[in-house]
Amino acid sequence: MNEDRAFLRHTLATLAYRGGKATRGADDGFASFRAAPTSRTPIMVLCHIGDLLDWALRIARGEPSYTEAIPASWAGEVQRFHKAMQDLDAYLASDAPLGASAEKIFQGPIADALTHVGQIAMLRRIAGEPIKGENYFRADIETGTVGAEQAPPKSEFD
């Protein structure tokens, strides 16, 4: 596997770790929380992340069409988040050709998804359900680990 693909796969594992932390244990009402009248709800943001990851896979396959899904339940969108990452990671782990450069795949959908995971974490704090901060440099993030099961935090702080 070339270095670009390996780096993209590690980026996905980082996204899975951070996204898992931001979504895990959210109260049932959090999905529909609005920070402002015109802001997206957390479930809308999470659904958009799923759309971005689906788009990243289509870009990787050389079929760069973007579609928007209708949000399901919070649990359903969390599952979709990890499933989309598993599908993309499996493609990146294969020998199949990339339909775009690794840099383009990162700068578009993956970087956008990382930004939106940060929004969910911020919305958790605004909604009164903060997640603990963490020294992510010390986290046990492993390439290929993109499912809901993630290593426990090593160094959290308030």
Q: Domain of 20? A: 3-145
- Identify the pLDDT of residue 145: 96
pTM of the model: 0.95
Contact 95, 41 (CB under 8 A): no
Is 153 part of any domain?
Answer: no
Is 150 part of any domain?
Answer: no
User: Domain total for the chain?
Assistant: 1
Mean pLDDT in order along the chain per 10 residues (158 residues) = 93 98 94 96 98 98 96 95 98 97 97 98 96 94 95 86
Is 100 part of any domain?
Answer: yes
E strand or H helix at 14, and its extent? helix 3-23
CATH number of the domain to which 9 belongs? 1.20.120.450
- Identify the pLDDT of residue 28: 83
CA distances from 22 to 1, 16, 136 (A): 30, 10, 13
3, 105, 108, 47 alpha-carbon torsion, rounded to 10°: -110
Query: CA 84, CA 9: separation in Å to the nearest integer?
Result: 13
